[in-house]
């Protein structure tokens, strides 16, 4: 007979970095584990809790009517007082170097409430963001296994590991167009120098990445929002060549099972229904969806060319401009506001878009994306080919994966690495944008082949999370292993 402790559900603490691109997949992952009978708690601060509240409520609604599914708790702790204005506690709210520095100071100060949670609640395992590099030591002090989660592709993770390990930029001339080879990977991977972060410009960040990499290596293992069939060479490289332990549990956005309603009842997108109705009235595959996540910034000249490009493409479009205050008269080309007013060709979303719902709508036939990993994987899951427009972080690596390895996208020709705080970059012309959209969505041989591959990959993604699929099995393996470890 099982002892009382053996019957107690496994308790996993999820501790995401404070940015939507980290919070959202972590909340989806918690929903996935809760669906397998694991007690899940997400630890975060109040403003960040609001980002995931509706996703968690939705998962908890399912739990009430499904046997064996447990409700997820969100435990909130105050954001440390580091001199940032009240409410500024999430990545997209940071607009200067000084704010970014204070924010990363606050990130280190979160160790205290994390330790307190661990002492008071004694979870069986913690999935903490790689950016909380200190959490590996903290978890070890509490005798709890720490699983790292960075929310990037295995491919990008392997590329940045190669960079950090080999310091390959050192040997490359200062020329921005010089190609930087990433040694030791299953494929020949090269990026232009200008597409990579220059360690000399942000030495603090480079040291931080080295610390993150070292902490991840000292962890119990890593969980990835990916699936075996997507990047098998990099799974093999990660586990065999680098000797790291990895569980691939994604695409986590599919795990909630209600992709069709995800977003529609999301408090963040009050006009999701209006957007859906607009899409319903458009022919299959005729709409290009344009969105650049939560952290990217486009200058007025870039926005003007993008608007021109969408117009020139002749395609219908849904374009997410986001909540940032931009003076549209500064960049909207002549005739564009009138075209928008007529509402025939395009829809602009100025707040939070129900992205999963849009990508999964049959009217959508292409996605112009910054290649944030969540957006990229959401497009892969929906079987939608991409026009890739990376800006910074792991996005240039994700572009390589999509364009060169998966062959389900066309690059726009983005060459300059820079977050919204470092904004100088070459402006890409409207004609180039229109041509890339036409290639991805067109009826040419090239376009059709890309669309077919994207569809096939979407099917594989959906199978991975189904019962008996590779991600489904990785969740089972991990839960069983953690359970056995606890009961040992
Ligand atoms: N997202 C959304 N609506 C928006 C903007 C973003 O649903 O209007 C979601 C998107 O579906 C993805 C996440 O926010 O899950 C953004 O993560 P990603 O890694 O793509 O980009 P980041 O914002 O981290 O650069």
**Residues designated as active site:** 22, 129
320 lines ligand 1 (CB under 6 A): yes
Q: Is the CB of 293 under 6 A from ligand 1?
A: yes
Structural contact between residues 345 and 366, judged by C-beta atoms closer than 8 angstroms: no
The bridge status of strand 386-388 relative to strand 190-192 is unpaired
Q: In what order do the strands lie in the sheet with 125-129?
A: 72-76, 39-44, 11-15, 125-129, 146-149, 221-224, 246-248
**pLDDT value for 424:** 74
Can you read off the two tokens belonging to residue 53? 């509240």
Instruction: Fill in the DSSP letter of residue 284.
Output: T
What tokens does 464 get?
């991975």
- CB of residue 375 inside a 6 A radius of ligand 1: yes
Q: Is the CB of 92 under 6 A from ligand 1?
A: no
Query: Are residues 277 and 249 in contact, defined by beta-carbon separation less than 8 angstroms?
Result: no
147, 36 contact by CB (below 8 A): no
Instruction: Please state, in angstroms and rounded to a whole number, the distance separating the CA atoms of residues 109 and 82.
Output: 9
For residue 398 and ligand 1, the question of a CB distance below 6 A is answered with: no
pLDDT along the chain (488 residues), means of 10: 74 97 96 94 97 90 74 96 94 90 96 97 97 97 97 96 87 92 96 90 86 95 98 96 96 71 59 92 97 92 96 97 76 92 92 94 98 98 98 96 98 91 84 98 95 98 96 97 89
User: Given this model, what pLDDT does residue 309 score?
Assistant: 98
355 CB within 6 A, ligand 1 = yes
Q: Is the CB of 447 under 6 A from ligand 1?
A: no
The phi and psi torsions of 469 (rounded to 5 degrees) equal: -75, 170
Q: Whose CA is nearest to atom 11 of ligand 1?
A: 355
Beta-carbon contacts of residue 117 (< 8 Å; ≥ 6 apart): 13, 43, 75, 77
Å from CA of 321 to ligand 1 middle: 12
Distance CA 452, CA 293 (A): 25
- Pick the atom of ligand 1 nearest to 320's CA: 8
The verdict on whether omega for the bond into residue 427 sits within 30 degrees of 0, i.e. cis, is: no
Gyration radius of the chain over CA positions: 22
Contacting residues for 432 by C-beta, under 8 A, at least 6 apart? 309, 412, 413
What does the alpha-carbon distance between residue 484 and residue 488 come to, in Å, rounded to a whole number? Answer: 6
Q: Which neighbouring-strand residues pair with 432?
A: none
Q: What integer pLDDT is reported at residue 1 of this predicted model? A: 60
The atom number, within ligand 1, closest to the CA of 351 reads 8
CA triple 276-280-282, angle to 5 deg: 120
Element (H, E) at 331: none
Cα separation, 145 vs 221, in Å, equals 9
Atom of ligand 1 minimally distant from the CA of 371: 20
Question: Element (H or E) spanning 229, and its range?
Answer: none
CATH number of this structure's domain 4-256+464-487: 3.40.50.2000
Question: What pLDDT shows up at residue 264?
Answer: 47
Atom of ligand 1 nearest to the CA of 25: 15
Identical topology for domains 4-256+464-487 and 270-463? yes
How high is the pLDDT of residue 488? 72
22 neighbors 16 (Cβ within 8 angstroms): yes
Strand, helix or coil at 390?
Answer: coil
Does ligand 1 have an atom closer than 6 angstroms to the CB of 471? no
Residue nearest to atom 10 of ligand 1 (CA): 375
The rounded distance, in Å, linking the Cα atoms of 203 and 199 is 5
Ligand 1 pocket mutation pick from 324, 372, 379 by most atoms within 8 angstroms of CB? 372
Q: Using the mean position of ligand 1's atoms as its centre, give its distance from the Cα of residue 207 in Å.
A: 27
Half-sphere exposure of 290 (CA within 13 A, CB side): 27
Annotated domain spans of the chain: 4-256+464-487, 270-463
**Run of H or E including 242:** none
Task: Measure CA of the first residue to CA of the last residue in the chain; give whole Å.
Answer: 16
Structure tokens at 406: 């998966």
HSE-up (13 A, CA, CB side) for residue 8: 12
Distance from the alpha carbon of residue 387 to the mean position of ligand 1, in angstroms: 16
Atom number of ligand 1 nearest to Cα 375: 20
pLDDT at 323 (0 to 100):
62
- pLDDT of res. 10: 96
Ligand 1 pocket, 378 CB below 6 A? yes
Question: Among residues 39, 72, 37, which one has the least CA distance to residue 57?
Answer: 72
Architecture of the structural domain at 270-463: 3-Layer(aba) Sandwich (3.40)
* Ligand 1 geometric centre to CA of 184 (Å): 31
Quote the ipTM score: 1.00
Distances (CA, A) of 91 to 242, 300, 389, 421, 425: 31, 22, 20, 12, 21
Q: Quote the pLDDT of residue 423.
A: 64
């Amino acid at each position: 007979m099982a002892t009382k402790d053996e019957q107690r559900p496994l308790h996993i603490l999820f501790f995401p970095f404070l940015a939507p691109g980290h919070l959202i997949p972590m909340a989806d992952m918690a929903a996935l584990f809760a669906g397998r009978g694991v007690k899940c708690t997400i630890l975060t601060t109040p403003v960040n809790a609001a980002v995931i509240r509706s996703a968690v409520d939705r998962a908890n609604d399912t739990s009430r009517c499904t046997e064996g599914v447990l409700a997820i708790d969100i435990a909130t702790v105050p954001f440390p007082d580091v001199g940032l204005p009240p409410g500024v506690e999430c990545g997209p709210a940071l607009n200067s170097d000084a704010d970014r520095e204070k924010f990363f100071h606050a990130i280190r100060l979160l160790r205290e409430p994390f330790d307190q949670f661990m002492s008071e609640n004694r979870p069986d395992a913690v999935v903490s963001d790689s950016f909380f590099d200190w959490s590996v030591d903290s978890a070890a002090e509490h005798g709890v296994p720490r699983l790292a989660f960075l929310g990037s592709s295995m491919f990008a993770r392997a590329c940045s590991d190669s960079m950090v390990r080999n310091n390959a930029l050192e040997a490359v001339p200062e020329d921005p167009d010089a190609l930087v080879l990433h040694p030791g990977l299953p494929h020949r991977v090269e990026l232009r120098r200008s597409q990579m972060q220059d360690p000399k410009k942000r030495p603090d960040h480079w040291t931080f990445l080295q610390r993150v990499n070292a902490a991840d290596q000292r962890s119990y293992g890593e969980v990835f929002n990916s699936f075996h069939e997507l990047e098998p060479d990099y799974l093999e490289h990660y586990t065999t060549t680098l000797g790291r332990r990895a569980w691939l549990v994604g695409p986590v956005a599919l795990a909630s099972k209600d992709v069709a309603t995800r977003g529609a009842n999301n408090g963040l997108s009050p006009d999701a229904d209006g957007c859906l109705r607009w899409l319903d009235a458009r022919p299959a595959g005729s709409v290009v969806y344009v969105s650049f996540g939560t952290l990217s910034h486009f200058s007025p000249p870039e926005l003007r060319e993008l608007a021109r490009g969408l117009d020139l493409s002749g395609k219908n479009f849904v374009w997410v401009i986001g909540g940032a205050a931009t003076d549209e008269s500064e960049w909207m080309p002549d005739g564009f506001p009138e075209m928008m007013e007529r509402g025939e060709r395009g829809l602009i979303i100025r707040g939070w878009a129900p992205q999963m719902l849009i990508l999964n709508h049959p009217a959508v036939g292409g996605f112009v994306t910054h290649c944030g990993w969540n957006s990229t994987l959401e497009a892969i899951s929906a079987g939608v080919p991409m026009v890739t427009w990376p800006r910074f972080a792991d996005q240039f690596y994700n572009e390589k994966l999509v364009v060169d390895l998966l062959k389900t996208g066309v690059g726009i020709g983005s060459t300059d690495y820079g977050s919204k705080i470092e904004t100088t970059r070459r402006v890409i012309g409207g004609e180039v944008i229109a041509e890339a959209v036409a290639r991805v969505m067109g009826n040419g041989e090239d376009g059709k082949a890309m669309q077919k591959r994207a569809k096939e990959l979407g099917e594989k993604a959906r199978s991975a999370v189904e019962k008996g699929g590779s991600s489904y099995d990785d969740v089972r393996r991990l839960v069983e292993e953690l359970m056995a470890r606890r009961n040992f």
